[in-house]
Structure 1
């Protein structure tokens, strides 16, 4: 039985809209739900929103475009997402304003999204990411690059991670500092998004088997495309500026302009190496890093990672019959060309990452697990220092990796469902 007949009136939940070439991103910022629709589909919603019936809307569309639209399929999808609602017979006399005011929240996310630091002042956020501040950041980074060009030894080597004395304590302090740095990185994304009027959430997720913190900036798709770059790059920008400041401090220390205790110097070198490796990790475009979102936004690909994974799966379906092929003809030709090129990077990156997992990470974790099992089996009395060291190692290394692997495996189960 048809739910949307020609005389049906439809309530349209108020939504934001952001033009994207020939399409429009519509959304509910309060529930972090956004959809991409053709511009003519949004026109249909506009006609329905002013009180036109489904039949009247179809006639208006037919007069303008020369074809009769299948509105019912569109409305069934949008109703499931909470954008429209069919009015019952006893509701048709209500004014449109009343219908909008009493519209139920979207059914897919009935509860409002809880944002972190939602009360962070937008005016303060705009000052923190103003042009003078960004110019100052550029100056600091330029000075650090000049310093490195004249003295490459300022870049720390792997030895910055080696602590010959007070090893456990130093690693613990470094881990705490890393947590602070990670929080500030995500906070930079959040504040930059607030500067654009977008609210965000911070949480824990995974990139393959690696546990990461992330800021959910779904609402950013509701603002113009050229305004999204700063929120995307805010985290790496803060890391780059912090690394630049540390580099200049070490330059000053090397020339005797300032003095740092050896412990502070070594921890600072380890932090600088952390920043540099973190910036390198952002270049792993085969994962959803900050730079990945910049690339996807620049090439106007709405779902580059997912579409690439489907494309690779479709290529696999050519040789393995059990793999089901998914139609991608609806994707614009321009995006399909980008997906094909990105698929090469995706395959190379994933292969390299899995190679490092099999050849380095898993063997290393196995040897550590064997050592930890031996130490813990011997008990605290056998060697108190080794026992405490083992417990800290489990806390700092094993638990994060275990959680990361758990989330990664869970993602496969979720996809299958």
Structure 2
């Protein structure tokens, strides 16, 4: 062993782990770094953590599995992500060209989690005790949410007129500015509740959760970091990913019930309130359909990745699709080597590539059939207003549209461009890597939701 002599001692800082099949996911939750290793690799880590030398750990492995492990590559990969480091008494005797002795080394571009930009302001939900969180996402709450959703779907089936269309955001009955601002306020509150639901489900599993602002491409989103959920049982992971949409569906169903009762004379709903409820309901519909944008890391994406037991489904799928394009245009030099991905995961990647493309097509359909009609309606009224013709918009309405576009869409574009700039700077200052990957990384989980429709 040129890299790690048999008598070398290795420091193994405390780590969390989760066994699943023939693999184990290990993680440093405080650093949001997770790796998948063969199950037998956990025996090596435990032996080293107990104070065994590298040679003793190799001997124990050989006695148990009847084969000699290649600990140099294994430990080098772990060291590069900060899971092991050499004991100070042995660091001078190890070949520095073979092993990185630092506990936190630069991440490997295109493999593990790359260096992140300076963290944005985040609000922690760790003040919520797990036993309290479990009451808010337990069987009773889930049953009530399911009944509400089923009732809402039933009412929509009986009266399709409850969903008029994107023209609800034009507020043709008047009071455009007032109703638009109220809709935005309601949407922000609903988005906060959606992300709070993710946080509650994560806290129910004993996992830290924090809320921040970010972007998916040019869309401004609220993001809840629940990366520690990687260490939770699979059932808890599903609930953490889905609980936000479950709350959205139940909340939207309550609005459907009120609108249905108003349309059928069961209760008296003022026209202005009805217009507001229609608009807010549509924002819920948009938030739920947003989960079908499978080319983004939406909540539903994490559910699928969890079901398929893949480590980095999005990055592998995008690399696969780039390879398809490169082969079509005979650009062999652009091919990405994916031979290191296990065969089972390669099949999952090929299947998800179809879903990925469908998500792109669906998002384009939403743009064409929803956003463009709204923008066209706004533009038409603005042109009428500017040219002095009869328009439903007032100067305040025009100002409202300008502020919304600048604050929400402009903010998303700004964050997107800033992210691209910082990523380019990191690539320029990053370290080149030409070696093979021994330990595949696992992507952390961050749920995201549009700030406004």
Q: Equivalent of 2:136, from 128, 133, 139?
A: 128
Runs of 5+ unmatched residues, structure 2 = 92-101, 107-114, 388-393, 428-453
How far did 1:59 drift? 2.4
How far did 1:63 drift? 3.1
| Counterpart in the other structure of 1:53 | 53
| Counterpart in the other structure of 1:9 | 9
The answer to whether the 8 Å contact 2:170/2:377 transfers is: no
How far did 1:284 drift? 2.1
Moved more, 322-331 or 301-310: 322-331
* Aligned positions of 1:53-132 closer than 5 A: 53-89=53-89, 116-132=124-140
Aligned pair count? 399
Hey, what's the Cα distance between the residues in 1 that align with 2:158 and 2:191? 30
How far did 1:366 drift? 11
The answer to whether the 8 Å contact 1:148/1:154 transfers is: yes
The answer to whether the 8 Å contact 1:156/1:272 transfers is: no
How far did 1:15 drift? 0.9
Moved more, 9-18 or 259-268: 259-268
Hey, what's the Cα distance between the residues in 2 that align with 1:247 and 1:151? 10
Alignment CA distance shift 1:40-1:247 (3 Å): same
Hey, what's the Cα distance between the residues in 2 that align with 1:266 and 1:371? 19
| Counterpart in the other structure of 2:192 | 183
Hey, what's the Cα distance between the residues in 2 that align with 1:394 and 1:77? 51
Query: Is 1:325 aligned to 2:342, yes or no?
Result: no
The answer to whether the 8 Å contact 1:61/1:69 transfers is: yes
Alignment CA distance shift 1:56-1:391 (3 Å): same
The answer to whether the 8 Å contact 1:17/1:222 transfers is: yes
The answer to whether the 8 Å contact 1:23/1:39 transfers is: yes
Query: Is 1:222 aligned to 2:231, yes or no?
Result: yes
TM-score, length-normalised on structure 2?
0.77
Alignment CA distance shift 1:209-1:363 (3 Å): farther
| Counterpart in the other structure of 1:316 | 325
* Aligned positions of 1:11-410 closer than 5 A: 11-89=11-89, 116-164=124-172, 165-318=174-327, 319-321=329-331, 324-350=334-360, 353=363, 386=395, 388-409=396-417
Runs of 5+ unmatched residues, structure 1 = 92-103, 379-384
The answer to whether the 8 Å contact 1:115/1:199 transfers is: no
Moved more, 108-117 or 303-312: 108-117
Alignment CA distance shift 1:362-1:325 (3 Å): farther
How far did 1:51 drift? 1.2
TM-score, length-normalised on structure 1?
0.84
How far did 1:2 drift? 5.3
Moved more, 82-91 or 266-275: 82-91
Determine which structure has the larger helix proportion and give its number.
1
How far did 1:79 drift? 2.3
Q: Secondary structure at the match of 1:30?
A: helix
